[in-house]
């Protein structure tokens, strides 16, 4: 198994790593171990599993596959992306300080501003697209640097290697929320980061039918702390959810290739429309993060945001006029989604914060699915025609 990790490619590992035939029955596909407990052979003698909050074979298969794809030795799965993020924050303690990239998932912002300060953890928010701002914010008490890249919803790029180096020099951990990129396009640990966090709800699950999260680390002490605190606090995924996520994961490479091919087509199409003031997609050569993305990612992903000339009324009309893009929260599923960051994904941020991040009332976010690109462009075209009227 260890040998295979070295040699096999991403798609192979997504399908095989951690997923050997079931030792009990030979089942080719990892079974859903829908059990709370495991019958002990004798007092104090079990077959590696005792109680499913602590460990479960279906969940373990998912964890081994994810760890391999992220290039870390340890995967820890959680019941949601937010549980994974809350679990990661168990790596800091009262009195510790965290430097956070201010272009941040709304749920993380809520956790960091409204929950964790009660436990004595302090946060500073910086524009991490300029690593020197991260360095400036570091204090003696800084124990963690938290970044996301590409960011949501403006698709800005943060230099993972530069931030990880700043963290390392400060004796702090660098955490990357890698949800937007997925391990197919970006491996934070290989870039020097200490922790990769995922909402598997998005591209990894990929079918908008299961909520989940995961953390991958390479060092044993962090893995030990994450597992211990997850067992102590209980934020696990159930075996069915782990199984669905694992099934989604098997096709991650195929889906990501199509997502980004379609996103590139849609971005180029939208760039030709007079109703569109700006297209934010790292795959466009004039995107400010294009070169960094080309350096630290293996592709540009499936998310993009457009700013409309007509501002709020045009944005609202576009969101309500598409036929194939469903108006909804979330992203990363096979089906295309359209969203209005101002009142949806970024509702938790005050208006001046949103404007500072570049989110305007004319911004519309697209999660480009894997339908036929021609159909997606045609749908956006007809919706823009109608929104413009």
The only residue of 19, 149, 182, 199 in contact with ligand PLP, by rule CB under 6 A: 199
In whole angstroms, the minimum distance from the beta carbon of 184 to ligand PLP comes to 16
The only residue of 202, 255, 259, 287 in contact with ligand PLP, by rule CB under 6 A: 202
> Is the peptide bond between 153 and the residue preceding it cis, with omega within 30 degrees of 0?
yes
Q: Which is nearer to ligand PLP, 80 or 296 (CB)?
A: 80
In angstroms, the CA 284 to CA 295 distance is: 14
In angstroms, the CA 230 to CA 90 distance is: 9
| Angle in degrees, 0-180, between the axes of helices 252-271 and 239-250, rounded to the nearest 10 | 70
State both tokens at 119: 């436990």
Q: What is the DSSP letter of 273?
A: -
In whole angstroms, the minimum distance from the beta carbon of 327 to ligand PLP comes to 17
* Residues facing 122 on adjacent strands: 97
Write each residue from 211 to 230 as x if it is in contact with ligand PLP (CB under 6 A), else as -, in one continuous string: x-x-----------------
In whole angstroms, the minimum distance from the beta carbon of 251 to ligand PLP comes to 19
Q: Does 302 bind ligand PLP (CB under 6 A)?
A: no
Size of the site for ligand PLP (CB under 6 A): 15
State both tokens at 140: 């003696």
Q: Which is nearer to ligand PLP, 200 or 262 (CB)?
A: 200
Residues numbered 86-115 forming contacts with ligand PLP, rule: CB under 6 A: 105, 107
The only residue of 30, 58, 142, 201 in contact with ligand PLP, by rule CB under 6 A: 201
The only residue of 82, 185, 276, 279 in contact with ligand PLP, by rule CB under 6 A: 82
In angstroms, the CA 300 to CA 368 distance is: 12
In whole angstroms, the minimum distance from the beta carbon of 114 to ligand PLP comes to 15
In whole angstroms, the minimum distance from the beta carbon of 300 to ligand PLP comes to 16
In angstroms, the CA 273 to CA 132 distance is: 37
Q: Which residues are catalytic?
A: 53, 105, 177, 202
Contacts of 374 (CB under 8 A, 6+ apart): none
Write each residue from 139 to 178 as x if it is in contact with ligand PLP (CB under 6 A), else as -, in one continuous string: ---------x---x------------------------x-
* Residues facing 216 on adjacent strands: 75, 196
Helix (H) or strand (E) holding 66: helix 57-70
The residue number whose beta carbon is nearest to ligand PLP equals 81
Label the pairing between strands 213-217 and 74-78.
antiparallel
Please state whether 171 falls in left (phi above 0), alpha (psi between -120 and 50) or beta. left
Q: Which residues bind ligand PLP (CB under 6 A)?
A: 80-82, 105, 107, 148, 152, 177, 179-180, 199, 201-202, 211, 213
């Amino acid at each position: 198994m260890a040998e295979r990790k070295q040699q096999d490619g991403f798609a192979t590992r997504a399908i095989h790593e951690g997923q050997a035939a079931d030792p009990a029955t030979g089942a080719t596909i990892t079974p859903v171990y829908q059990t709370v407990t495991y019958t002990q052979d004798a007092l104090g003698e079990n077959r590696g599993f005792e109680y499913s909050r602590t460990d479960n074979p279906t969940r373990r298969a998912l964890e081994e596959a994810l760890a391999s794809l992220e290039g870390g030795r340890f995967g820890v799965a959680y019941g949601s992306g937010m549980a994974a993020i809350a679990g990661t924050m168990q790596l800091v303690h009262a009195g510790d300080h965290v430097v956070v990239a201010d272009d941040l998932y709304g749920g993380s912002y809520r956790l960091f501003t409204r929950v964790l300060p009660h436990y004595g953890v302090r946060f500073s928010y910086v524009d991490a697209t300029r690593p020197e701002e991260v360095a400036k914010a570091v204090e003696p008490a800084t124990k963690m640097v938290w970044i996301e890249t590409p960011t949501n919803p403006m698709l800005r790029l943060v230099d993972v290697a530069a931030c990880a180096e700043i963290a390392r020099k400060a004796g702090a951990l660098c955490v990357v929320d890698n949800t937007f990129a997925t391990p197919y396009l970006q491996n934070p640990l290989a870039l020097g980061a200490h922790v990769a966090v995922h909402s598997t709800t998005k591209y990894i699950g990929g079918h908008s039918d299961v909520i989940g999260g995961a953390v991958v680390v390479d060092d044993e002490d962090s893995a030990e702390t994450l597992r211990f605190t997850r067992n102590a606090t209980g934020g696990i995924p159930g075996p069915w959810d782990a199984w669905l996520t694992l099934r989604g994961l098997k096709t991650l490479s195929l889906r990501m290739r199509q997502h980004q091919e379609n996103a590139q087509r849609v971005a180029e199409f939208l760039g030709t429309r007079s109703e569109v003031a700006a297209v934010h997609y790292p795959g466009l050569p004039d995107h400010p993060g294009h070169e960094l993305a080309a350096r630290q990612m293996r592709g540009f992903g499936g998310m993009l945001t457009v700013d409309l000339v007509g501002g709020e009324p045009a944005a609202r009309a576009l969101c309500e006029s598409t036929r194939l893009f469903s108006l909804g929260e979330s992203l990363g599923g096979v089906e295309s989604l359209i969203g209005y960051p101002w009142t949806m994904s970024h509702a938790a941020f005050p208006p001046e914060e949103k404007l500072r991040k570049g989110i305007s009332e004319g911004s519309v976010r697209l999660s480009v699915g894997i339908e036929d690109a021609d159909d997606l462009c045609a749908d956006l075209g007809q919706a823009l025609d109608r929104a413009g009227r």
